[in-house]
């Protein structure tokens, strides 16, 4: 795998730290997009500069997670949102009630949808605006 591929994956999968480290190493000339990713040495980076880049969100990440909000004893609603409070606000606005709880889920969670196995990562690609309702689950 080339550094280019690792960099693209880091951006696509919102690996904020890794993407910023690679970006920094590329800027400093300490890595090339054509290098083998197995030879990438993150210790060559100026960690303070990378920390500042992450804090300033130089690469423009707007992380979106998925949250499970419990509607009642048997019903759950999954919501894509930037943060937990945003998911709760959409739930209250949509269902006119406060959720019983709210828990983050991994975007890598696999689920059966329309007789096909998918992940929240794949489902998230269907939305352009967040927060958004991802789906429902009934026990």
pLDDT given for residue 120 in this prediction: 93
- Rounded to an integer, the average pLDDT of 52-69 is 92
Q: What is the pLDDT of residues 5-37, one digit of tens each?
A: 999 999 988 889 999 999 999 999 999 999 999
pLDDT given for residue 138 in this prediction: 93
Q: What is the pLDDT of residues 103-112, one digit of tens each?
A: 999 998 999 8
55 Ramachandran zone, left/alpha/beta (phi>0; psi -120 to 50): alpha
Let me know: does 104 contact 63? Beta carbons within 8 Å. Answer: no
* Token pair for 59: 């690469």
- Kindly report whether the global pTM for this prediction surpasses the value 0.85: no
pLDDT given for residue 12 in this prediction: 82
- Rounded to an integer, the average pLDDT of 61-77 is 94
Residue given tokens 């690469």 in the structure block: 59
Q: Is the pLDDT of residue 87 over 90?
A: yes
The CA–CA distances, whole Å, from 70 to 10, 37, 97 equal 31, 42, 11
pLDDT given for residue 74 in this prediction: 96
Q: Is the pLDDT of residue 66 over 90?
A: yes
Most distant pair of Cα atoms in the chain: their distance: 56
Q: Is the pLDDT of residue 61 over 90?
A: no
């Amino acid at each position: 795998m080339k550094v280019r591929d690792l960099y693209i994956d880091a951006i696509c999968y919102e690996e904020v730290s890794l993407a910023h480290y690679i970006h920094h190493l590329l800027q400093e000339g300490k890595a090339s997009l054509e290098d083998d990713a197995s030879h990438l040495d993150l210790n060559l980076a100026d960690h303070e500069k990378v920390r500042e880049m992450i804090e300033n969100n130089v690469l423009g990440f707007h992380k979106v997670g998925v949250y499970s909000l419990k509607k009642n004893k048997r019903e759950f609603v999954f919501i894509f949102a930037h943060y937990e409070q945003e998911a709760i606000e959409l739930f209250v606005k949509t269902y006119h009630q406060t959720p019983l709880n709210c828990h983050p889920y991994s975007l890598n969670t696999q689920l059966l949808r329309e007789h096909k196995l998918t992940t929240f990562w794949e489902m998230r690609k269907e939305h352009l605006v967040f927060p958004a309702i991802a789906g429902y689950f009934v026990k």
